[in-house]
Amino acid sequence: MGAIDDEILRLEDEIRNTQYNKATQGHIGRLRAKIAALKLEKEKRARGTGGGPSGYAVRKSGHATVALVGYPSVGKSTLLTHLTGAESESAAYEFTTVSIIPGMLQWKGASIQILDMPGLVAGASRGRGRGREVISVVRASDLVLFMLDKEHLEFRSLLAELEGAGVRVNQRPPKISVTHRDRGGLEVESTVRLTKVDADLVKQVAREFGLHNGLIIFREDAPVDSLIDVLAGNRVYVPGILAINKSDLISPAERASILERLGSHRPIFVSATSDQGLTELKDRIAEVLAFIRVYMKPPGEAPDLVEPLILRKGDTVASLLLRLPPETTQGFKAAQVWGPSARFPGQTVGKDHVLADRDIVTVVIQRGSRPER
Ligand SMILES: Nc1nc2c(ncn2[C@@H]2O[C@H](COP(=O)(O)OP(=O)(O)OP(=O)(O)O)[C@@H](O)[C@H]2O)c(=O)[nH]1
Ligand SMILES: [Mg+2]
């Protein structure tokens, strides 16, 4: 362990040994900011020397990628096999899976890549087990599918491992904006009354991140941790789903107590070996990934209503263009849209236009840019 690690541990100890109250919350906030800034520095150095996370090079494919995360032996590989047919060894001992195994789930017209991963253990975010690789895959995924079983119900600690590595599950980015300036010191503004931080603390935290001149605007009554997230800048926000596996071994009474404990996370009870609950699980995955279908209409021809392009809610014409063969989009001039996202049939729109499910789209290109046949 290097000097940075030692310093992080020392600061974490100090936080643990400081009673949290009104008088100390500023101090604790500054300590947290110091830790976050040190972690950032550590990552930067690791990248610089090439000694950082090797980053599992899993090629993303399909319309979206789902990462399977859970403790060892909860049944992740068994689920992958039952959902996708991909072979991933499963066994009654821990750490059966030691690399990342992809499978492809076809559901309601969409291809969903599912990545089976080694079991996550405590300390993963600090590099224990295969933690680093798992976390780097999670960072690049569109959805995390968490799996627990009745022997492993510590969902909080699983989340904490990801949190420690900058992954925010089922959260939205804080409404805090930071603008860097060349001079003039730090300015703090807010559109709401701030009860969790004051301007002094905000400035001190900003300085921990090397920000000495700039404007920070709070658009919600956010805690200091949200400010740290924004200043650190390398946070990823991903949706998550919780599945409780081996439900064939769970009695109704146990089920009720699990629901009492984890009900707020809307867990889905499944049994990977007996396929119980898998339809509900697949539906939930598709719902969260929010696929939309877009039909292409060549200029002056009828639309192709048989094979839609699969995009995701919030995708724009620009995202659509990326999915078409380059020769058909070269010289893009505009798009014409019929359907739910159009204000009137055949509306002409630009690349920023947000598409909707069941839109019909024609790509209009500059005259003379269509290649000769
Ligand atoms: N009863 C029951 N057993 C299951 C179920 N799903 C998986 N198992 C068993 O649980 C054991 C572990 O399954 P794996 O799929 O290897 O678990 P894993 O999460 O991939 O484990 P690691 O790769 O070690 O992290 C195996 O013996 C499976 O047969 C289930 O739904 N019910
Ligand atoms: Mg496995």
Between 189 and 367, the more confident residue is: 189
Alpha carbon of 94 to ligand 2 centroid (Å) = 8
In angstroms, the CA 272 to CA 274 distance is 6
Q: Could you read off the pLDDT of 24-34 as tens digits, one per residue?
A: 888 999 999 99
Q: How many residues does the chain have?
A: 373
Cβ contact 100:133 at 8 Å: yes
Q: Could you read off the pLDDT of 84-103 as tens digits, one per residue?
A: 988 887 877 777 777 888 99
Instruction: Write out the DSSP string of 169-199.
Output: ES----SEEEEE-SSS-EEEEESS--SS--H
- Whether 314 is in a domain gets the answer yes
* Residue bearing the CA closest to ligand 1, atom 30: 246
In angstroms, the CA 189 to CA 93 distance is 55
Cβ contact 31:11 at 8 Å: yes
Alpha carbon of 241 to ligand 1 centroid (Å) = 19
Using the atom order of ligand 1, give the atom closest to the CA of residue 89.
Answer: 16
Cβ contact 83:66 at 8 Å: no
Same domain, 285 and 298: no
Tokens representing 129? 């087990």
pLDDT bracket for residue 51 (50, 70, 90): very low
Contact residues of ligand 1, CB 6 A cut-off: 70, 72-78, 90-92, 94-97, 118-119, 245-246, 248-249, 271-273
Which residue(s) pair with 31 in the sheet?
Answer: none
- Whether 340 is in a domain gets the answer yes
Looking at the CA of 118, which ligand is closest?
A: 1
Q: Which domain holds residue 285?
A: 64-171+236-289
Looking at the CA of 101, which ligand is closest?
A: 2
Same domain, 247 and 130: yes
Same domain, 19 and 164: no
Q: What residues contact residue 244 under an 8 Å CB cut-off, 6+ apart? A: 147, 148, 149, 150, 250, 258, 262, 267, 268, 269, 270
Residue ending a domain, choose from 222, 256, 289 = 289
* Residue bearing the CA closest to ligand 1, atom 13: 75
Residues 323-347, buried b or exposed e (16+ Cβ, 10 A)?
Answer: eeeeeebeebebbbbbbebbeeeee
Which residue(s) pair with 348 in the sheet?
Answer: 336
Using the atom order of ligand 1, give the atom closest to the CA of residue 95.
Answer: 24
Alpha carbon of 349 to ligand 1 centroid (Å) = 50
Alpha carbon of 63 to ligand 2 centroid (Å) = 24
- Find tokens 């020769």 and name the residue: 327
Cβ contact 245:271 at 8 Å: yes
Looking at the CA of 72, which ligand is closest?
A: 1
Same domain, 178 and 193: yes
Alpha carbon of 267 to ligand 1 centroid (Å) = 18
Share of the chain above pLDDT 70, in %: 93
> What pTM was estimated for this model as a whole?
0.85
Same domain, 240 and 117: yes
* Residue bearing the CA closest to ligand 1, atom 16: 90
Q: Could you read off the pLDDT of 248-257 as tens digits, one per residue?
A: 999 999 999 9
Alpha carbon of 253 to ligand 2 centroid (Å) = 28
Same domain, 143 and 251: yes
pLDDT of 242 > 60? The answer is yes
Cβ contact 136:55 at 8 Å: yes
Q: Could you read off the pLDDT of 141-162 as tens digits, one per residue?
A: 999 999 999 999 999 999 998 9
Query: How confident is the model at residue 57, as a pLDDT?
Result: 60
In angstroms, the CA 228 to CA 34 distance is 9
Query: How confident is the model at residue 50, as a pLDDT?
Result: 47
Alpha carbon of 350 to ligand 2 centroid (Å) = 46
CATH of the domain at 306: 3.10.20.30
Choose one of 69, 77, 281 to mutate for the ligand 1 pocket test, by most ligand atoms within 8 angstroms of C-beta: 77
pLDDT of 225 > 80? The answer is yes
Residue ending a domain, choose from 188, 215, 232 = 232
Provide the phi-psi class of 333: left if phi over 0, else alpha when psi is between -120 and 50, else beta. Answer: alpha
pLDDT bracket for residue 359 (50, 70, 90): very high
Query: How confident is the model at residue 128, as a pLDDT?
Result: 61
Q: Could you read off the pLDDT of 193-220 as tens digits, one per residue?
A: 999 999 999 999 999 999 999 999 999 9
